[in-house]
Amino acid sequence: MPKGLQNIHFTFGEKGLTYLAGIPIIYQFCKSLQLKRFLQIYLHLSHRNTYYHWADLILSHFYSTVAGIERFTHLFTLIDNGLLPPLVGLNRFPGTRAMRDFLLRLTPEDLTQIEKLHDLLRSQMFQYPNSLTTFIINFDSVVLTVYGRQEGSAIGYSHKKRGRPSYHPLLAFESHLKISLLGELRPGNATNKSEALPFIKFALKKVPSTIARSRVRIRADAGFYCWPTVKFLDEEEYGYVIVAQMTIPIKYQIVGLRYHIFNHQEKLAAAEFQHQPHGWAEPHRFIAIRYTLPKEPETPQRTLPILGDRYQYHVFVTNLDLEPENIWYFYNGRASVELVVKELEENFFLTKIPTRKFLPNQTHFQLLLMDYDLFRWFQILCLPQELQSKTLKWIRRHFLTIPGRFITPGHKNTLQFPASFRKEHLIQQIYRNAQKVKSLLK
Protein backbone atom coordinates (compact mmCIF):
# COMPACT_ATOMS: atom_id res chain seq x y z
CA MET A 1 0.00 0.00 0.00
CA PRO A 2 1.52 3.40 -0.97
CA LYS A 3 2.24 5.82 1.82
CA GLY A 4 0.95 9.36 1.90
CA LEU A 5 3.19 12.40 1.66
CA GLN A 6 5.61 12.70 4.55
CA ASN A 7 7.10 15.79 6.22
CA ILE A 8 5.15 18.47 4.35
CA HIS A 9 6.64 21.97 4.49
CA PHE A 10 4.56 25.10 4.00
CA THR A 11 5.53 28.28 2.19
CA PHE A 12 3.50 31.45 1.81
CA GLY A 13 3.64 34.42 -0.53
CA GLU A 14 2.93 32.74 -3.87
CA LYS A 15 1.15 35.15 -6.21
CA GLY A 16 -1.36 34.60 -8.98
CA LEU A 17 -3.24 31.69 -7.33
CA THR A 18 -7.01 31.45 -7.02
CA TYR A 19 -9.74 28.88 -6.45
CA LEU A 20 -12.14 30.99 -8.56
CA ALA A 21 -10.36 30.78 -11.89
CA GLY A 22 -13.71 30.54 -13.72
CA ILE A 23 -15.03 33.88 -12.44
CA PRO A 24 -13.68 35.82 -15.49
CA ILE A 25 -16.54 34.42 -17.60
CA ILE A 26 -18.95 36.27 -15.28
CA TYR A 27 -16.77 39.38 -15.31
CA GLN A 28 -16.59 39.39 -19.11
CA PHE A 29 -20.39 39.21 -19.27
CA CYS A 30 -20.65 42.26 -16.98
CA LYS A 31 -17.88 44.04 -18.91
CA SER A 32 -19.60 43.49 -22.28
CA LEU A 33 -22.85 44.80 -20.80
CA GLN A 34 -20.92 47.84 -19.51
CA LEU A 35 -22.78 47.15 -16.30
CA LYS A 36 -20.49 49.25 -14.12
CA ARG A 37 -20.94 52.31 -16.34
CA PHE A 38 -24.67 51.60 -16.47
CA LEU A 39 -24.82 51.67 -12.67
CA GLN A 40 -22.81 54.89 -12.53
CA ILE A 41 -25.16 56.62 -14.98
CA TYR A 42 -28.53 55.52 -13.62
CA LEU A 43 -27.82 55.38 -9.88
CA HIS A 44 -27.17 58.43 -7.72
CA LEU A 45 -27.30 57.08 -4.19
CA SER A 46 -26.87 59.08 -1.01
CA HIS A 47 -24.29 56.58 0.24
CA ARG A 48 -20.69 57.78 0.35
CA ASN A 49 -17.67 55.59 0.97
CA THR A 50 -14.02 56.64 1.06
CA TYR A 51 -12.78 53.55 -0.76
CA TYR A 52 -15.68 52.20 -2.84
CA HIS A 53 -18.12 53.64 -5.34
CA TRP A 54 -21.66 52.30 -4.97
CA ALA A 55 -21.34 50.73 -8.44
CA ASP A 56 -18.40 48.67 -7.17
CA LEU A 57 -20.33 47.67 -4.06
CA ILE A 58 -23.35 46.50 -6.07
CA LEU A 59 -21.10 44.58 -8.45
CA SER A 60 -19.30 43.06 -5.46
CA HIS A 61 -22.67 41.98 -4.10
CA PHE A 62 -23.29 40.16 -7.39
CA TYR A 63 -19.82 38.60 -7.62
CA SER A 64 -19.84 37.43 -4.00
CA THR A 65 -23.27 35.82 -4.39
CA VAL A 66 -22.24 34.01 -7.57
CA ALA A 67 -19.00 32.92 -5.89
CA GLY A 68 -20.98 31.24 -3.10
CA ILE A 69 -20.65 33.70 -0.18
CA GLU A 70 -23.64 33.04 2.06
CA ARG A 71 -23.10 35.87 4.56
CA PHE A 72 -21.14 39.11 4.64
CA THR A 73 -19.05 37.66 7.47
CA HIS A 74 -17.67 35.14 4.95
CA LEU A 75 -16.29 37.81 2.62
CA PHE A 76 -12.81 37.32 4.08
CA THR A 77 -12.44 34.27 1.81
CA LEU A 78 -12.62 36.57 -1.21
CA ILE A 79 -10.38 39.20 0.35
CA ASP A 80 -7.75 36.56 1.15
CA ASN A 81 -8.00 35.46 -2.48
CA GLY A 82 -5.70 38.22 -3.70
CA LEU A 83 -6.22 37.43 -7.38
CA LEU A 84 -9.98 37.96 -7.35
CA PRO A 85 -10.03 41.81 -7.53
CA PRO A 86 -8.10 42.01 -10.83
CA LEU A 87 -10.16 39.15 -12.24
CA VAL A 88 -13.37 41.14 -11.68
CA GLY A 89 -11.97 44.60 -12.42
CA LEU A 90 -11.78 45.91 -8.85
CA ASN A 91 -8.84 47.56 -7.08
CA ARG A 92 -9.77 45.76 -3.87
CA PHE A 93 -12.68 43.60 -2.76
CA PRO A 94 -14.92 45.12 -0.04
CA GLY A 95 -15.08 43.39 3.31
CA THR A 96 -17.84 42.68 5.79
CA ARG A 97 -17.96 46.16 7.28
CA ALA A 98 -18.01 47.94 3.91
CA MET A 99 -20.90 45.84 2.60
CA ARG A 100 -22.89 46.05 5.82
CA ASP A 101 -22.40 49.80 6.12
CA PHE A 102 -23.47 50.20 2.51
CA LEU A 103 -26.83 48.57 3.27
CA LEU A 104 -27.32 50.30 6.62
CA ARG A 105 -26.76 53.81 5.22
CA LEU A 106 -29.14 53.58 2.29
CA THR A 107 -32.39 55.56 2.42
CA PRO A 108 -35.88 54.67 1.14
CA GLU A 109 -35.17 56.94 -1.84
CA ASP A 110 -32.04 54.91 -2.57
CA LEU A 111 -34.07 51.71 -2.50
CA THR A 112 -36.53 53.23 -4.96
CA GLN A 113 -33.64 54.08 -7.29
CA ILE A 114 -32.32 50.51 -7.11
CA GLU A 115 -35.78 49.13 -7.92
CA LYS A 116 -36.11 51.48 -10.92
CA LEU A 117 -32.66 50.47 -12.16
CA HIS A 118 -33.68 46.82 -11.88
CA ASP A 119 -36.73 47.61 -13.98
CA LEU A 120 -34.46 49.08 -16.67
CA LEU A 121 -32.43 45.88 -16.66
CA ARG A 122 -35.57 43.76 -16.92
CA SER A 123 -36.84 45.78 -19.88
CA GLN A 124 -33.59 44.91 -21.68
CA MET A 125 -33.86 41.24 -20.68
CA PHE A 126 -37.38 40.97 -22.10
CA GLN A 127 -36.10 42.25 -25.47
CA TYR A 128 -32.69 40.59 -25.79
CA PRO A 129 -31.85 38.13 -27.27
CA ASN A 130 -35.49 37.80 -28.42
CA SER A 131 -38.57 39.89 -27.77
CA LEU A 132 -41.35 38.15 -25.90
CA THR A 133 -44.72 37.90 -27.66
CA THR A 134 -46.66 36.34 -24.78
CA PHE A 135 -46.34 36.82 -21.04
CA ILE A 136 -47.14 34.33 -18.28
CA ILE A 137 -46.75 35.65 -14.74
CA ASN A 138 -46.35 33.26 -11.81
CA PHE A 139 -47.20 34.75 -8.43
CA ASP A 140 -45.97 33.14 -5.24
CA SER A 141 -45.37 33.82 -1.56
CA VAL A 142 -42.62 32.34 0.61
CA VAL A 143 -41.71 32.25 4.28
CA LEU A 144 -38.19 33.30 5.33
CA THR A 145 -37.51 32.22 8.91
CA VAL A 146 -35.25 34.52 10.94
CA TYR A 147 -33.13 33.62 13.96
CA GLY A 148 -32.77 36.93 15.74
CA ARG A 149 -34.63 40.14 16.49
CA GLN A 150 -34.85 41.46 12.97
CA GLU A 151 -37.01 44.54 12.58
CA GLY A 152 -40.28 43.80 10.79
CA SER A 153 -40.17 40.07 11.41
CA ALA A 154 -43.22 38.53 13.04
CA ILE A 155 -44.69 35.15 13.90
CA GLY A 156 -46.93 33.97 11.09
CA TYR A 157 -47.72 30.78 9.22
CA SER A 158 -44.68 28.57 8.69
CA HIS A 159 -44.99 24.85 7.96
CA LYS A 160 -41.24 24.34 8.58
CA LYS A 161 -40.48 26.37 11.72
CA ARG A 162 -43.72 26.90 13.57
CA GLY A 163 -43.65 29.64 16.15
CA ARG A 164 -40.51 31.27 14.73
CA PRO A 165 -40.55 34.91 13.56
CA SER A 166 -40.21 35.31 9.83
CA TYR A 167 -40.60 37.49 6.77
CA HIS A 168 -43.31 36.68 4.23
CA PRO A 169 -42.29 38.14 0.85
CA LEU A 170 -44.41 38.16 -2.31
CA LEU A 171 -42.75 37.27 -5.61
CA ALA A 172 -43.68 37.44 -9.29
CA PHE A 173 -41.74 35.78 -12.13
CA GLU A 174 -42.08 35.73 -15.90
CA SER A 175 -42.50 32.09 -16.90
CA HIS A 176 -40.65 31.86 -20.24
CA LEU A 177 -37.36 33.44 -19.16
CA LYS A 178 -37.77 32.67 -15.43
CA ILE A 179 -36.79 36.28 -14.63
CA SER A 180 -38.26 38.13 -11.66
CA LEU A 181 -40.90 40.75 -12.32
CA LEU A 182 -41.39 42.05 -8.79
CA GLY A 183 -40.55 41.20 -5.20
CA GLU A 184 -41.71 42.69 -1.91
CA LEU A 185 -40.38 41.85 1.55
CA ARG A 186 -43.13 41.80 4.19
CA PRO A 187 -43.46 40.87 7.89
CA GLY A 188 -44.21 37.23 8.63
CA ASN A 189 -47.76 37.94 9.80
CA ALA A 190 -48.68 39.84 6.60
CA THR A 191 -51.34 37.39 5.43
CA ASN A 192 -54.12 39.85 4.54
CA LYS A 193 -55.16 38.90 1.00
CA SER A 194 -56.20 42.48 0.27
CA GLU A 195 -52.47 43.26 0.01
CA ALA A 196 -52.19 40.89 -2.95
CA LEU A 197 -54.13 43.13 -5.33
CA PRO A 198 -51.77 46.16 -5.14
CA PHE A 199 -48.85 43.79 -5.67
CA ILE A 200 -50.51 42.28 -8.76
CA LYS A 201 -51.32 45.74 -10.17
CA PHE A 202 -47.73 46.88 -9.66
CA ALA A 203 -46.37 43.73 -11.32
CA LEU A 204 -48.67 44.12 -14.33
CA LYS A 205 -47.34 47.64 -14.92
CA LYS A 206 -43.94 46.08 -15.61
CA VAL A 207 -45.22 43.99 -18.52
CA PRO A 208 -43.71 45.33 -21.78
CA SER A 209 -46.09 47.69 -23.58
CA THR A 210 -45.60 45.71 -26.80
CA ILE A 211 -47.58 42.77 -25.35
CA ALA A 212 -51.37 43.00 -25.52
CA ARG A 213 -53.43 42.18 -22.45
CA SER A 214 -54.99 39.28 -24.31
CA ARG A 215 -51.49 37.75 -24.46
CA VAL A 216 -50.94 38.00 -20.70
CA ARG A 217 -51.81 35.06 -18.44
CA ILE A 218 -51.60 34.82 -14.66
CA ARG A 219 -51.04 31.81 -12.39
CA ALA A 220 -51.23 32.25 -8.63
CA ASP A 221 -51.48 30.20 -5.45
CA ALA A 222 -54.21 30.44 -2.82
CA GLY A 223 -52.51 33.44 -1.18
CA PHE A 224 -53.90 35.57 -4.04
CA TYR A 225 -57.42 34.11 -4.00
CA CYS A 226 -59.94 36.82 -3.12
CA TRP A 227 -62.82 38.68 -4.75
CA PRO A 228 -60.99 42.04 -5.28
CA THR A 229 -58.23 40.27 -7.22
CA VAL A 230 -60.62 38.21 -9.36
CA LYS A 231 -62.83 41.24 -10.02
CA PHE A 232 -59.87 43.36 -11.12
CA LEU A 233 -58.50 40.70 -13.47
CA ASP A 234 -61.95 40.19 -15.00
CA GLU A 235 -62.47 43.91 -15.56
CA GLU A 236 -59.00 44.39 -17.05
CA GLU A 237 -59.43 41.27 -19.23
CA TYR A 238 -56.39 39.38 -17.98
CA GLY A 239 -56.59 35.61 -18.19
CA TYR A 240 -55.95 33.81 -14.90
CA VAL A 241 -55.93 30.52 -13.03
CA ILE A 242 -55.85 30.88 -9.23
CA VAL A 243 -55.93 28.16 -6.60
CA ALA A 244 -59.20 28.40 -4.70
CA GLN A 245 -59.49 28.17 -0.95
CA MET A 246 -61.17 24.94 0.11
CA THR A 247 -64.17 26.39 1.92
CA ILE A 248 -66.97 24.19 3.26
CA PRO A 249 -69.42 25.07 0.40
CA ILE A 250 -66.77 24.12 -2.18
CA LYS A 251 -66.01 20.87 -0.36
CA TYR A 252 -69.70 19.92 -0.48
CA GLN A 253 -69.91 20.67 -4.21
CA ILE A 254 -66.80 18.89 -5.45
CA VAL A 255 -67.74 15.54 -3.89
CA GLY A 256 -70.94 15.25 -5.94
CA LEU A 257 -69.53 16.31 -9.34
CA ARG A 258 -69.31 14.03 -12.36
CA TYR A 259 -65.58 13.63 -13.13
CA HIS A 260 -63.90 12.38 -16.28
CA ILE A 261 -60.47 10.78 -16.15
CA PHE A 262 -57.92 12.52 -18.38
CA ASN A 263 -54.72 10.95 -17.10
CA HIS A 264 -55.00 7.22 -16.43
CA GLN A 265 -51.36 6.85 -15.43
CA GLU A 266 -51.60 9.34 -12.58
CA LYS A 267 -55.33 8.70 -12.01
CA LEU A 268 -56.33 12.32 -12.52
CA ALA A 269 -59.93 13.31 -13.14
CA ALA A 270 -61.49 16.71 -13.84
CA ALA A 271 -64.84 18.43 -13.50
CA GLU A 272 -66.15 21.99 -13.56
CA PHE A 273 -68.90 23.87 -11.74
CA GLN A 274 -70.26 27.36 -11.23
CA HIS A 275 -69.89 28.79 -7.75
CA GLN A 276 -70.42 32.15 -6.08
CA PRO A 277 -68.33 32.37 -2.88
CA HIS A 278 -69.56 34.46 0.01
CA GLY A 279 -68.92 38.14 -0.66
CA TRP A 280 -68.48 37.72 -4.42
CA ALA A 281 -70.81 39.71 -6.68
CA GLU A 282 -71.36 36.95 -9.25
CA PRO A 283 -70.69 33.24 -9.84
CA HIS A 284 -67.47 32.13 -11.51
CA ARG A 285 -66.14 29.09 -13.26
CA PHE A 286 -64.34 26.65 -10.96
CA ILE A 287 -62.31 23.59 -11.99
CA ALA A 288 -61.92 20.59 -9.68
CA ILE A 289 -59.08 18.12 -10.15
CA ARG A 290 -59.40 14.79 -8.34
CA TYR A 291 -56.40 12.63 -7.40
CA THR A 292 -56.80 8.98 -6.45
CA LEU A 293 -54.63 8.31 -3.44
CA PRO A 294 -52.76 5.01 -3.20
CA LYS A 295 -54.41 2.40 -1.05
CA GLU A 296 -53.00 1.88 2.41
CA PRO A 297 -51.36 -1.52 2.97
CA GLU A 298 -53.36 -4.02 4.95
CA THR A 299 -52.31 -4.46 8.57
CA PRO A 300 -53.29 -7.19 11.06
CA GLN A 301 -54.70 -4.56 13.43
CA ARG A 302 -57.26 -3.28 10.91
CA THR A 303 -60.74 -4.61 11.60
CA LEU A 304 -62.87 -2.32 9.38
CA PRO A 305 -62.30 -2.28 5.59
CA ILE A 306 -62.01 0.91 3.56
CA LEU A 307 -64.80 1.00 0.97
CA GLY A 308 -64.03 2.57 -2.40
CA ASP A 309 -61.14 4.83 -3.40
CA ARG A 310 -59.74 7.73 -1.43
CA TYR A 311 -59.41 11.09 -3.15
CA GLN A 312 -57.62 14.38 -2.84
CA TYR A 313 -58.79 17.55 -4.61
CA HIS A 314 -57.40 20.75 -6.07
CA VAL A 315 -59.78 23.53 -7.06
CA PHE A 316 -59.09 26.52 -9.31
CA VAL A 317 -61.04 29.61 -10.31
CA THR A 318 -60.44 30.73 -13.88
CA ASN A 319 -61.76 32.85 -16.74
CA LEU A 320 -59.81 30.96 -19.43
CA ASP A 321 -61.85 29.23 -22.13
CA LEU A 322 -60.03 25.90 -21.89
CA GLU A 323 -61.11 22.36 -21.16
CA PRO A 324 -60.85 21.47 -17.44
CA GLU A 325 -57.86 19.18 -18.00
CA ASN A 326 -56.06 21.89 -19.99
CA ILE A 327 -56.58 24.30 -17.10
CA TRP A 328 -54.72 21.77 -14.97
CA TYR A 329 -51.89 21.39 -17.47
CA PHE A 330 -51.58 25.17 -17.80
CA TYR A 331 -51.42 25.69 -14.05
CA ASN A 332 -49.03 22.79 -13.66
CA GLY A 333 -46.47 24.85 -15.57
CA ARG A 334 -46.30 27.02 -12.48
CA ALA A 335 -44.09 24.34 -10.92
CA SER A 336 -41.19 26.23 -12.49
CA VAL A 337 -41.63 29.05 -9.98
CA GLU A 338 -41.18 26.58 -7.13
CA LEU A 339 -37.80 25.65 -8.62
CA VAL A 340 -36.87 29.33 -8.94
CA VAL A 341 -37.76 29.99 -5.29
CA LYS A 342 -35.72 26.94 -4.27
CA GLU A 343 -32.80 28.29 -6.31
CA LEU A 344 -33.08 31.67 -4.57
CA GLU A 345 -33.23 30.10 -1.13
CA GLU A 346 -30.46 27.52 -1.54
CA ASN A 347 -28.00 29.00 -4.05
CA PHE A 348 -28.59 32.76 -3.78
CA PHE A 349 -28.96 32.52 0.02
CA LEU A 350 -32.28 34.37 0.23
CA THR A 351 -32.83 32.92 3.71
CA LYS A 352 -29.64 34.52 5.11
CA ILE A 353 -30.87 37.82 6.56
CA PRO A 354 -27.88 40.21 6.82
CA THR A 355 -28.95 42.88 9.39
CA ARG A 356 -31.47 43.60 12.13
CA LYS A 357 -32.96 46.59 10.29
CA PHE A 358 -35.88 46.17 7.91
CA LEU A 359 -34.83 48.69 5.21
CA PRO A 360 -31.31 47.22 4.76
CA ASN A 361 -32.83 43.74 4.65
CA GLN A 362 -35.34 44.95 2.08
CA THR A 363 -32.50 46.40 -0.02
CA HIS A 364 -30.52 43.16 0.26
CA PHE A 365 -33.64 41.29 -0.85
CA GLN A 366 -33.92 43.50 -3.95
CA LEU A 367 -30.20 43.15 -4.73
CA LEU A 368 -30.46 39.35 -4.51
CA LEU A 369 -33.33 39.42 -7.02
CA MET A 370 -31.15 41.53 -9.30
CA ASP A 371 -28.24 39.11 -8.77
CA TYR A 372 -30.53 36.26 -9.75
CA ASP A 373 -31.81 38.03 -12.88
CA LEU A 374 -28.29 38.97 -14.02
CA PHE A 375 -27.12 35.39 -13.59
CA ARG A 376 -30.19 34.10 -15.41
CA TRP A 377 -29.44 36.52 -18.25
CA PHE A 378 -25.86 35.26 -18.30
CA GLN A 379 -27.19 31.71 -18.66
CA ILE A 380 -29.44 32.68 -21.58
CA LEU A 381 -26.84 34.74 -23.46
CA CYS A 382 -23.61 32.88 -22.74
CA LEU A 383 -24.22 29.24 -21.90
CA PRO A 384 -24.91 26.45 -24.41
CA GLN A 385 -28.57 25.46 -24.63
CA GLU A 386 -28.05 22.25 -22.65
CA LEU A 387 -26.62 24.19 -19.67
CA GLN A 388 -29.20 26.97 -19.47
CA SER A 389 -31.40 25.07 -17.04
CA LYS A 390 -28.56 24.21 -14.65
CA THR A 391 -28.54 25.70 -11.16
CA LEU A 392 -26.02 28.26 -9.97
CA LYS A 393 -24.61 25.58 -7.66
CA TRP A 394 -23.92 23.34 -10.66
CA ILE A 395 -22.34 26.16 -12.70
CA ARG A 396 -20.31 27.22 -9.69
CA ARG A 397 -18.98 23.70 -9.11
CA HIS A 398 -18.14 22.94 -12.76
CA PHE A 399 -16.93 26.30 -14.06
CA LEU A 400 -16.34 28.94 -11.39
CA THR A 401 -14.59 27.27 -8.45
CA ILE A 402 -11.62 25.95 -10.40
CA PRO A 403 -8.02 26.28 -9.17
CA GLY A 404 -5.90 28.42 -11.44
CA ARG A 405 -2.78 30.51 -11.78
CA PHE A 406 -2.62 33.94 -13.42
CA ILE A 407 0.59 34.80 -15.26
CA THR A 408 1.65 37.50 -17.74
CA PRO A 409 4.40 36.12 -19.98
CA GLY A 410 5.37 38.67 -22.62
CA HIS A 411 2.70 41.06 -21.22
CA LYS A 412 0.02 38.57 -22.27
CA ASN A 413 -2.66 37.87 -19.65
CA THR A 414 -2.87 34.10 -19.22
CA LEU A 415 -5.03 32.09 -16.82
CA GLN A 416 -3.69 28.58 -16.33
CA PHE A 417 -6.03 25.73 -15.43
CA PRO A 418 -5.03 22.31 -14.07
CA ALA A 419 -4.35 19.51 -16.54
CA SER A 420 -7.23 17.51 -15.02
CA PHE A 421 -9.79 20.14 -16.07
CA ARG A 422 -11.79 18.54 -18.91
CA LYS A 423 -14.15 21.37 -19.90
CA GLU A 424 -11.63 23.70 -21.53
CA HIS A 425 -13.61 23.91 -24.80
CA LEU A 426 -16.80 24.81 -22.91
CA ILE A 427 -15.25 27.55 -20.79
CA GLN A 428 -13.63 29.05 -23.89
CA GLN A 429 -16.95 28.96 -25.72
CA ILE A 430 -18.73 30.62 -22.78
CA TYR A 431 -16.05 33.31 -22.61
CA ARG A 432 -16.37 34.02 -26.35
CA ASN A 433 -20.17 34.24 -26.00
CA ALA A 434 -19.74 36.68 -23.12
CA GLN A 435 -17.50 38.86 -25.30
CA LYS A 436 -20.30 39.10 -27.89
CA VAL A 437 -22.97 40.34 -25.46
CA LYS A 438 -24.41 43.74 -26.44
CA SER A 439 -23.85 46.73 -24.19
CA LEU A 440 -26.70 48.11 -22.09
CA LEU A 441 -25.73 51.62 -23.21
CA LYS A 442 -26.23 51.12 -26.96
Instruction: Quickly count helices (H) and strands (E) in the chain.
Output: 15, 15
Mean pLDDT for all residues in the chain? 90
Q: What pLDDT sits at residue 161?
A: 64
Considering only 26-40, 131-145, 296-310, 386-400, which range has the smallest mean pLDDT?
296-310
Q: What is the pLDDT of residue 158?
A: 61
- Please state, in angstroms and as integers, the Cα–Cα distance from residue 9 to each residue in 6, 12, 81, 398, following that order: 9, 10, 21, 30
* Whether the model pTM is above 0.95: no
Cα 324 to chain center, whole Å? Answer: 30
pLDDT value of residue 311: 86
- 208-253 pLDDT per residue, tens: 999 999 999 999 999 899 999 999 999 999 999 999 999 999 999 9
Chain centroid, CA 347 distance in Å: 10
Instruction: Give residue-wise pLDDT tens across range 254-281.
Output: 998 999 999 988 889 999 999 999 999 9
User: Looking at the predicted structure, is the pLDDT value of residue 75 above 60?
Assistant: yes
Query: For 407-427, what is the mean pLDDT?
Result: 87
Say yes or no to pLDDT of 201 above 80.
yes
Does the pLDDT at position 299 exceed 70? no
For 321-352, write each residue's pLDDT tens digit.
Answer: 999 999 999 999 998 899 999 999 999 999 99
CA distance 402 to 382: 19
- Decide if pLDDT at 93 tops 50: yes
Q: What's the pLDDT score for residue 302?
A: 43
Look at residue 270 and give its three-state secondary structure.
strand
Diameter of the chain by CA atoms?
86
Residues 160-184: tens digit of each pLDDT: 667 678 898 999 999 999 999 999 9
Give the confidence band of 434 by pLDDT, cuts at 50, 70, 90.
very high
pLDDT(110) > 90:
yes
Confidence of residue 303 (pLDDT cuts 50, 70, 90): very low
Helix ranges restricted to H, 189-286 = 196-204, 227-235, 248-255
Q: Of 12, 22, 45, which is closest to residue 366 (Cα–Cα)?
A: 45
Q: Is 89 left (phi over 0), alpha (psi -120 to 50) or beta?
A: left
Sheet of 170-174, strand order: 179-184, 170-174, 135-141, 216-220, 239-243, 311-318, 284-292, 268-275, 260-263
Between 111 and 417, name the one with better pLDDT. Answer: 111
Give mean pLDDT, residues 15-20. 84
d(CA 66, CA 97) in angstroms, rounded, equals 20
Is the model's pLDDT at 293 over the cut of 90?
Answer: no
Predicted confidence at residue 5, as pLDDT, reads: 64
